[in-house]
Amino acid sequence: MAHAFNRTLTGKIAGRLDPVEQALLRSLVLQLAQLLHETDDSASQDPLAQLVGIQELAERPEDPALLRLFPDAYRDDESAANDFRRYTQARLRETKTNRADAVIEILDRADNKIELSDAEAQSMLAVMNDTRLVLASRLGLTDELKLDELLLAEADQGGVAHLYEWLTWLQETLVRAIMQKN
């Protein structure tokens, strides 16, 4: 059973997951990384634009989960939102993908105890948040009441809503551990 993340006497942040929980978290992060990886169209791009991370075309994602990860910057102006997306989405996607890949490496090297430096804890926190956003999108979560309804419906078998709730708890313990001072 998972144990909350806490700050150790050495200043690291540590938490315990049993092998099934660790595999489950790794699977979720791996799915996030796969969602974030995009086809490399850099061969058709202007080299200068590629260098500074500008996309020739950056359209609003059709997948609701990707839209949660890359929301519109301007809700009332589609043209401005797409323009903003052109200048920011490639780098943001790269950052999110790199964090997910780093968390997979952390989970791969961990036994049942996960030890994190402060920088690794920040990456883990960001990846947990992105994973929760994707799960919430897939579940159609719009508010706490909806989550309560889903949890009640899944009470006997445990499903994705319970997974979302577990990940929320795990993220909350990580936030508390990050905030602890030695």
Number of Cβ atoms within 10 Å of the Cβ of 119: 9
Tell me which residue range forms the domain holding 53. 3-179
pLDDT tens, residue by residue, 12-25: 999 999 999 999 99
| Choice among 38-42, 79-83, 129-133 with the minimum mean pLDDT | 38-42
If one counts the domains in the chain, the total is: 1
DSSP three-state, residue 6: strand
* pTM check: above 0.75: yes
